[in-house]
Each structure stands twice: as structure tokens, then as C-alpha cells.
Chains A and B, each alone.
Chain A
Amino acid sequence: MNYTPTVGQILQAKGVSRRGFLKYCATTASLLALPPSMIPRIAEAIENARRPSVIWLSFQECTGCTESLTRSSSPTVEGLIFDAISLDYHHTLQAASGDQAEAARHAAMEENDGNYLVLVDGSIPMGNPGFSTIAGISNYDMLMETVAGAAAVVAIGSCAAFGGIPGANPNPTGAVSVKDLVTDKPVINVPGCPPIPMVITGVLAQFLTFGAIPDLDKHGRPLAFFGNTIHDRCYRRPFYEQGKFADTFDDEGAKAGWCLYKLGCKGPTTYNACATVKWNSGTSFPIESGHPCLGCSEPRFWDKGGFYQPLSTGHFGSGAKLAGAAVAGAALGVAAAAAGRRRQAKFTREA
């Protein structure tokens, strides 16, 4: 077998400084809530990792998740970490196509049987196998075939994790999540539309470091990244407590950077690391740019009412139905009073 350089060697070759690499490891450690003493261990694990084989399957998706990982203007450590794995199959990124590509996938599966990772973005249509195929293979068949020999499966993005936008009401393709289908392998959900790149690589780094599945929440998300709500860590939280809210997108409150709760921010019910890791190399996150959180890392975020509808908005039902209830109440009242009067009359007669 060919010589496989370690991740550390590759990073070095790409011109990533030791200092920059350790900073990445420190950030990862803090995200994982690990003590600083673990930083060297993470660094060591990553540096010495032997480019694990990774097969990336893309089903009903928009490529946004891949874009999120790769569309950085300058190479980032997390991007390079990805370079450092042996990405043996990714039909957006790989040069090969057609039978050649499929052959690469099969080769990787055979060579690394039982050890490779499967990363999936996009949901799987169950309505009709023809809704989405790759090289004539339906998404379902490809998924099941590929995960058979995998060590673990990582569902990248909300489509793979929860069905996402393809699965939104009325779900014409019968889209389901990876977890709905893969029950005999560990599945780690890394939702988000798209997920934060640092979180994707962080999960991988954690897997490489400890060789084990991290602690997951009830939605299969690593608690290390999805343990807190956006609201909990939001820098605008003090305005919420003070009752200072932006009422519209261009009022004084919006300009002053007040809380976006009334504009429909889903921060309080959304678990993700946006408010701490942020986006675009730590530049900002949606709320910082003045837009309420959409709650994209939550199951069925597309179907939970309007994006601009405040969280506490409830549904008292239609006016017509309420009026109907009122009429019914009045009828019952009249009947009750009539019954009461009848009893009074009866008693008066008997008395």
C-alpha cells in the first residue's frame, strides 16, 4: 500500500503554522468543553491520524453544506482538515465521474471495510426510487449499500439529519432522514442549513481524537456543539431581559441592535453553536447581522410557523370557530336555563 502521510504532515505541507494548528485544537477543545490539558491530545490525535477514508454521499440536497465547508476565501484550518482526510468519494468535489467514481467508492469500501466514515448530506426520497438517483442507483440503495461496512455515519445538514426542506410539508418525495433508515450503525446528526463548518470538522476531530461517538442529545446531535440554545449564548440576550425589542427591521430598536424576539427569532428553541463559533471565520452570525434566527438546526424548522412569527405566538383558532363555540355556548346556556326553569316549575307544582 502507498505511503499515507499523517494529517500533521499534510497540514505542514500546506503551510499551516504549528501555532495556527494548536489554536484550532484549543478552540475544538473548548467547544467540546474539554479541559486545556486535552489540547495536546487533540493535536496529537489529529496530527498522527492516518487519513481515515471518508465517503460523502449527496442525496436530495442543495450542496449548501459542501459550500459551507469549502467556500472560504482563504484556506482555513477546518477546510484543510478536510483535505487531510481521505475523501474517497464526493461527487461534487471529485474529479472522477460515472463508472469511475462508483468504482472509487466501491474500492474505498472494500479497502477500509468496517473502518470508513460515511458522511451524508441531503435527504432520501422514499416515495419513488426514481425521484433521485446517482449513476442509476437510487439514493436509498446507495445509502444502504455504503453504510453496511461503515464505522459510523455522520448526517451533515438538516436534510440528512431531519429530512430538511425536501421533507417539508407536503413532502412530495417522501423524504426521510438518514437516521430514519440507518438503525444498526451509529449516526451523528450535524444539522444546520448549512451546518457551521467548524462544527462539522469539530465532530470529525472529536471522532478522530477519541475514536468514539460523542454524547448526543435527543435529536442525535453532539451535545458539545448543540448543548445550548442560540438564545442562551446570544449577545443580545440582555436586551431580552430588559424588555428592549426591535419591532420592525428598520426601527430604532433594530438599529440599536435590540433583541429580535418580536421579529420571530427562534433563538430560544434552537440548539446550535452559531452564537459562540459564528460564521465566516468567526465574523458574525445571523442575529449579529440583524436577522432573527430561523432555527435551521431544529427538526422540521420549515414547518414551524412563519420565520417572522414570534415564538410565543399561539393559535387561538379561527374567528369563525370561536364564534361557533360562542353560539354553542349560548345554546347550552339557554338549554341549561330552560332545564333549570322547568325544574323550578315542576317543584312549584309539587310543592
Chain B
Amino acid sequence: MDLLEFARGPALQTAAYILVAGTIWRIVGIVMLKEKADYSEPRGRGGFFAALKVIWTRAFTAEPFKKATMYPKMMAYVMHIGLFATIFLFTPHIVFFEGWMGFDWPGLPNSVIFFIGVATVISGVALLVRRMTSPVLKMISNFDDYFSWFVTMLPLITGLLIPVRVLFQYEDLLAIHILSVALLLIWLPFGKLGHAFLVFITRGTTGMVFERRGART
């Protein structure tokens, strides 16, 4: 078994099992804690649709905060949209998902993905620089923040290096790329990258509580 086969096979599988188990572990561990009943008379509609509403609306910045948060928000948008595009709109990835899920969707030209990838890395670096220089972020950041940054950037950078082919051959880079993805998947449920699924719970909860009050969400 060469490195690529190991990466594609056992490494990715193990990572997938850990991802699934860890994600459910964390969600269940949170959801199964005691629930606080709210007996107050509702003003607005809480519930599922309120949760959905805020899951959607919190993706955008409220007008009063736009100026102050413009820079990190823009970088974060580039980062998230870039990650989405590079993960889900790159044809070799689509082929991967098709092989797994049985259906595919149209992708973007590889050269476009390459530039999106570069932009994503730049935004990531910008966010890291901000984290390391802003007094607020310096203070509130911990190992999780930096390690999560690292495991997110690693697949991006190794992915971008594959066509460039520096230092390593294609299949070795591909193997390293897939291994870095495995690392990302393993870390995702346990650290702050868990926000990939926790965001639905946090925004949803706030949506339900505050929409119920008829308050601003």
C-alpha cells in the first residue's frame, strides 16, 4: 500500500468515522443537557422557522456594525465562500463526492478554482495576521484558534501545490493533500471548527428565544 492508497483508503475512512462520531457526540452532548423551559407569554413566533430565519439572517451584518467589522467580515466571506467553492465546485472533488453519494453537479473551471484557492489562502493569512496583531484577538485566542487555522489552510495549500508540483510529485502531493483533509475532518468536530455544525444550533437557539420575544435578532 503506497501513501496515496493509505490516504485515500484507511486514513480517509478513519477520519470520516471520527468526523461522524465526534460531530454527533458534540451535538448530542449539548442537546441532552437540561433544557430550560420558558413559560413567559410569547410575543412573536419562536420555533423552527424562527431558528431558520436567524440561521439565514445572521449570515449578514446589521447596518450599524458594518463599518466596524467590515475588514474581518469581508475576509471571512472570502474565506468561507472560497472554501465552499474549492471544496464543492472543483471537478475532481465533485467526482469524489459523486463516487460517494452517486450524483454530481457542475463545477467551475480548474483555473478559476485555482485563483479562488489563492484568494482563500490570502484571506486566511489576512485573518491570521489580524488574530496575531489585534489586541482583542491576541487575548481571546488559544491553541484551538491557531491549530484550527492550520488544519484548514493545510488542505488548501497542499491542494494548490498539486498542479504547481513543487518539491513533490503529483501522487505524493495528492496523498499529502488527502491526509491533510483527513486531519481536518478528524479535528473538525472537536475544536472551534465545530462551528460548521454548531452555527445552526447557536443561531437557531437565539432565533427561537428572541423571535419569541419579538425582539431584534
Contacts and interface: CB of A to CB of B under 8 A. Distances in A.
Question: A contacts B directly in the complex (CB < 8 Å)?
Answer: yes
Interface of A: 229, 231, 240-245, 261-262, 268-269, 299-300, 304, 309-317, 321-322, 324-326, 328-330, 332-334, 336-338, 340-341, 344
| Interface of A, helix, strand, loop or mixed by DSSP | helix
B91 A314 contact: no
Contacts of A299: 2
B91 A245 contact: yes
B171 to A, nearest CB: 4
B109 A242 contact: yes
Contact of B28 (A240, A245, A329, A341): A329
A209 B43 CA distance: 92
B33 A340 contact: yes
B24 interface: yes
Task: Categorize the interface residue count of chain B.
Answer: 35 or more
Listed from nearest, the 5 A-B pairs whose CB atoms lie closest are A333-B28, A329-B24, A337-B32, A329-B21, A313-B99
Nearest to A295: B171
Interface in B168-186: 170-171, 174, 178
Given A241-B109, A242-B111, A334-B32, 13 more contacts: A244-B109, A261-B95, A312-B96, A313-B96, A314-B178, A316-B12, A317-B17, A325-B20, A326-B20, A326-B21, A337-B32, A340-B29, A341-B33
Nearest to B107: A243
A344 B36 CA distance: 14
A332 B91 contact: no
A234 B54 CA distance: 50
Contact of B95 (A268, A313, A316, A337): A313
A338 B170 contact: no
Contacts, number: 123
A319 B20 CA distance: 11
B99 A314 contact: yes
A229 B33 CA distance: 55
A241 B112 CA distance: 9
Interface string B10-43: 0011001110111111111111111000000000
Interface of B: 2, 4-5, 8-9, 12-13, 16-18, 20-34, 91-93, 95-96, 99-100, 107-112, 170-171, 174, 178
Contacts of A337: 28-33
A229 B170 contact: yes
Contacts of B171: 268-269
21 contacts: A229-B170, A241-B109, A241-B110, A242-B111, A262-B95, A268-B174, A300-B2, A312-B174, A313-B8, A313-B95, A314-B8, A314-B96, A315-B13, A316-B16, A324-B17, A332-B21, A333-B24, A333-B25, A337-B30, A337-B32, A344-B34
Nearest to B182: A314
A330 B174 contact: no
Contact of B170 (A261, A268, A317): A268
A261 B170 CA distance: 15
Nearest to A333: B28
B17 A321 contact: yes
